[in-house]
Structure 1
Amino acid sequence: MPIITLTTDFGTKDHFVGAVKGSIYTELEEVRIVDISHDITPFSITETAYILKNTYKNFPPGTIHIVGVDSEVSIENKPIAIEMEEQFFICCDNGILSMITNEINPDKIVEITIQEPIDVELPVLGMFIKVACHIARGGTLDVIGKRITEIKNILEIRPQVNAEKNQIVGSIIYIDNFGNVISNISKNTFQNVGKGREFEIIARNYKFVKIHQKYNDIVDFTVPISKRQDDGKKLALFNCSNYLEISIYRSNLKTVGGASNLLGLDYRDNITVRFI
């Protein structure tokens, strides 16, 4: 049974998600629908890119991903479908997939040319669903569009390395449910530029000179539990996606807070790594 995933900024209060699912089942009953997220910050391309990059590899070959973020079709926001790593992505050409395509070359890219139903306001309710169900039935991309060779790249996904190769300037591209702030500085970039040198990480008014392997590395387990005061300590680490993250140990945005509010770090703020 084919799998179609949904990633949108629709939220769950309104009718949109239910309408999308109903439209898919009307078009193709024998399908499984998986919600990746509907809580993307509205129109956030980088947030969507980060979530997709860290999700799609967990799905089996043939999975079809509908991305309904910044999905209003226009001359500058054309609908596309991409085949890549035995999976399919349907979205608008707004840079969402560039975090993936910067590392992996797509097998095929088409600009979708089938007409959008005139009685549907959102493409994910019409055009994207038609394309997804066509693929799920075994259809090819060539039938629904014309081949293109390039898609939009968003520069803010890539950190900047200076000419002297002793500094990386990145930015915060995602804030997770715990208030951890994730930068666009990958472990691979850090190691290639740093080459084992000492460093300092600067995030607003805070400096870090050590990168931990995991969150509880900051805990001294030789100290009795009753005497530990580790909750709320700040740390830097490469997260499970291998991106540099600034965190608060055992953070909770609803109680003790997280790195985003306790350290005053927000989306697009700079994080700088200086090698010494």
Structure 2
Amino acid sequence: MSRTIALLTDFGLDDPYVGQMKGMLAAHAPDSLIIDVSHGVEPFCISQGAFFLAAAMEHFPPDSVFITVIDPGVGSARRIIAAEFGQRIVLAPDNGVLELAENRFSGTVIVTDLSEAAAKIHSSATFHGRDIFAPLAASIACGTSPSSLGPKLPLREIVRRGFNKPVWLEDGVKTTVLHKDRFGNLVLNIPDTQTLPERMSIPEEQLLSGNDASCVKRVCCYAELEPGATGLLAGSQGYYELALNRGAASEMLGLEPGDALTLKF
């Protein structure tokens, strides 16, 4: 039986791109179960793609193969890699999208450079997801070892962008927005294992004009917040999130995935 294949892209669902990738997978790995993690990553937003991958991996079968295509450098000299997190294998461009998964994984990560194998596959310059990632993932799902497709790559040599850890200050913390969910909650790159003060504040210069909701209260659930109040709570994905009770923190702050935010203690 072929492995489960998980798809994570920034392709959206308006174009035929996801369908074409699934068609390639069905042709090359017909026994594999194909599951969509998401195709709603903001275009080119590597930090959000990294968050989706890290949040999803542990909820999939242990031998799953992930195709993670958030690839603003498609067609360039950027590497294509396979990273083994135990039995789980992630195929991705080497652009930092593995950074959060690496940070959350407690074992040894083995990385293989698939660039030479990819170069042997006839492909368009703009759609490596269909032409390269899908057939390589199908081959691995059907039993091919990544080690047979290219040389090992030292883990220290893969690209990292620095959004895996917040920056701690004497009087606060600088964070990165990893995700804005459909409710307007902002997932920050602060692990929920970190202890934070009960009261914090957002500097006035980071608030939208006319907005004075600078006070942030640490709470356990959304319902603990008064209407219109801003809170920070440990979310379901392993990170703290900034939220309003029945409101959109993203609209209040005008923040998007990849943006920076400072919380003062």
TM-score normalised over the length of structure 2 = 0.86
Counterparts of 1:92-111 in structure 2, within 5 Å, are 92-104=93-105, 105-111=107-113
Counterpart pick for 2:144 among 124, 127, 139 = 139
CA deviation string 1:153-180 (max 9, x = no partner) = 1113321123x4x432112221111111
Counterparts of 1:131-170 in structure 2, within 5 Å, are 131-150=136-155, 151-162=158-169, 164=170, 166-170=171-175
Whether the aligned pair in 2 keeps the contact of 1:171 and 1:183 (CA below 8 Å) is yes
Identity percentage of aligned residues: 27
Counterpart pick for 2:135 among 125, 130, 135 = 130
Distance change (3 Å), C-alpha of 1:39 and 1:4? same
Please state whether the residue corresponding to 1:200 is helix, strand or coil.
Answer: strand
Distance change (3 Å), C-alpha of 1:269 and 1:5? closer
Which amino acid is 1:36 matched to? V
Name the CA distance, whole Å, in 2 between partners of 1:14 and 1:176: 22
Whether the aligned pair in 2 keeps the contact of 1:116 and 1:123 (CA below 8 Å) is no
Which amino acid is 2:184 matched to? G
Q: Displacement of 1:212 after TM fit?
A: 0.7
**2:206 is aligned with 1:216:** no
Counterpart pick for 2:186 among 181, 192, 195 = 181
Please state whether the residue corresponding to 2:217 is helix, strand or coil.
Answer: coil
Q: Who wins on radius of gyration, i.e. which is larger?
A: 1
In structure 1, runs of 5+ residues without a counterpart are: 220-229, 252-257
Distance change (3 Å), C-alpha of 1:117 and 1:233? same
Name the CA distance, whole Å, in 2 between partners of 1:19 and 1:160: 41
Structure 1 segments (4+ residues) deviating >4 Å? none
TM-score normalised over the length of structure 1 = 0.82
Name the CA distance, whole Å, in 1 between partners of 2:102 and 2:147: 20
Distance change (3 Å), C-alpha of 1:242 and 1:23? closer
Counterparts of 1:181-200 in structure 2, within 5 Å, are 181-188=186-193, 190-191=194-195, 199-200=199-200
Which amino acid is 1:241 matched to? Q
Please state whether the residue corresponding to 1:153 is helix, strand or coil.
Answer: coil
**2:118 is aligned with 1:117:** no
Counterparts of 1:1-276 in structure 2, within 5 Å, are 1=1, 2-70=3-71, 72-75=74-77, 77-104=78-105, 105-112=107-114, 113-114=116-117, 115-121=119-125, 122-150=127-155, 151-162=158-169, 164=170, 166-188=171-193, 190-191=194-195, 199-202=199-202, 204-205=206-207, 206-218=213-225, 230=227, 232-251=228-247, 258-275=248-265
Name the CA distance, whole Å, in 1 between partners of 2:27 and 2:198: 58
Which amino acid is 1:180 matched to? N
Name the CA distance, whole Å, in 1 between partners of 2:88 and 2:244: 36
Q: Displacement of 1:116 after TM fit?
A: 4.4
What is the aligned-residue RMSD (CA, Å)? Answer: 2.1
Whether the aligned pair in 2 keeps the contact of 1:157 and 1:173 (CA below 8 Å) is no
